[in-house]
Every structure is written in C-alpha cells, then in structure tokens.
Amino acid sequence: LANYFCYDWIMPTGVPEPHLSAWRAVLNAHAVLVDRIEHELTLANLPPLSWYDVLWAVRRAPGRRIRMAQLADSLTLSRGGLTKLADRLEREGLLRREPADDDGRGFYATITDKGVALLRQMWAVYSRVLRQSFAASIDECEAQVIASALARTERATRAGTSRRTPAE
C-alpha cells in the first residue's frame, strides 16, 4: 500500500499544502484500490489487471483492432513488454495478431470471442469493487470534481512532457 509521501516540512518547494494532500490521497487511494481489485481477481481465479487493460483497449478500439505500437503507448508498458504480454494472451486464445494490410511492417491486435467473454467476467469483479469501495464512499458532486480536475492534470502533463520551463 504505497506511501509516496512528500515532505514539504523538510524542504519547502512551493507546492501548496492542499495539493500535497491531494496528491498523497491520489497515490494512496490508487494503491489500495488496485491492490484490492487484483486480490479479488485472484480469488475469482481470473488473470491480473494487465490482461484486462490490454483486452479492454483492443475491445474499445474502432473496428475492435489496434496497432501494436499504439496499444503499447496507450498502456504503461514498453514495446517489448507488450509483445510478450500479447504472446501470453494469444497462447490463451484471447487475442490474435494479424499483419496490417496497409503497412507490411505492422500488426493489428484483435480480440477473440473468448477474449470478450473473459473481459465480461473480469469486469463483473472489477466493477463490484468499484461499487463497494469507490462509489459507496464518494458522492456524485465529488466524483465530478475529481473527474474534471484530474482530467485537466492529465492533459497538462501530457502537453508538458516535451517542453521545458523557459526560465530554468
């Protein structure tokens, strides 16, 4: 259960206290919930979240297919890591890789019926945790604030990934 605690009281850095508390809460809630979901999946004899992430990303892609490189970018995973994860999923008959018709170098990942069925089973467990732990402890107004504020942070962080602060 992660504690990436910050410590402004040791070395002040100009990050306001409410933001430090908020970041700490994001880290802790994320760690606790992900642990809990993984735990419940294990109890139900289902694969880990990483499999869910891949299957879901393929399922929701237009045409239910997506290029390997794009898939890796949409997950927290390196190219090589995705190749091996896809190997395992393909071995289980959950995923297929098909050569791209328009680009001889590339491959499309597609999901099988068995993959879709597994996705439903996993989502049944996953969503139960969200209902009992997340939705049960947060009201709708708070949920809307969290959604809009953190989505803004995500965009700001992505946008700033390549640039540097001018005066530095």
Partner DNA sequence: TAAGATTGACATTTCAATCTTC
Partner DNA sequence: GAAGATTGAAATGTCAATCTTA
Q: Which does 86 bind (CB under 5 to 8 A by kind): DNA, a copy of itself, none?
A: DNA
Q: Which residue, 59 or 67, has its beta carbon nearer to DNA? A: 67
Query: How many residues does this entry show for the chain?
Result: 168
Angle CA 135–28–10, to nearest 5: 145
Under 8 Å between Cβ of 69 and 106? yes
Helix (H) or strand (E) holding 83: helix 79-91
Residue 158 makes contact with a copy of itself by CB under 8 A? yes
Residue 89 makes contact with DNA by CB under 7 A? no
Binding test (CB under 8 A) with a copy of itself, winner from 45, 62, 63, 76: 76
Binding test (CB under 7 A) with DNA, winner from 8, 103, 142, 154: 103
Residue 81 makes contact with DNA by CB under 7 A? yes
Query: CA 72, CA 126: separation in Å to the nearest integer?
Result: 22
Give the torsion sign (CA, 79, 52, 110, 112): positive
Residue 30 makes contact with DNA by CB under 7 A? no
Residue 7 makes contact with a copy of itself by CB under 8 A? yes
Q: What is the dihedral of CA 118, 116, 37, 81, to 10 degrees?
A: 100
Structure tokens at 120: 């439903």
Distance of CA 7 to the CA centre of its chain: 27
Least separation in angstroms between residue 162's CB and DNA is 14
Residue 117 makes contact with a copy of itself by CB under 8 A? no
Binding test (CB under 8 A) with a copy of itself, winner from 42, 70, 73, 103: 73
Binding test (CB under 8 A) with a copy of itself, winner from 33, 90, 96, 112: 33
Task: List, in sequence order, the alpha helices (H) in the chain.
Answer: 17-43, 49-60, 68-74, 79-91, 113-129, 140-159
Residue 166 makes contact with DNA by CB under 7 A? no
Binding residues (CB under 7 A) for DNA: these are 42, 48, 50, 67-70, 76-88, 97, 100, 103-108
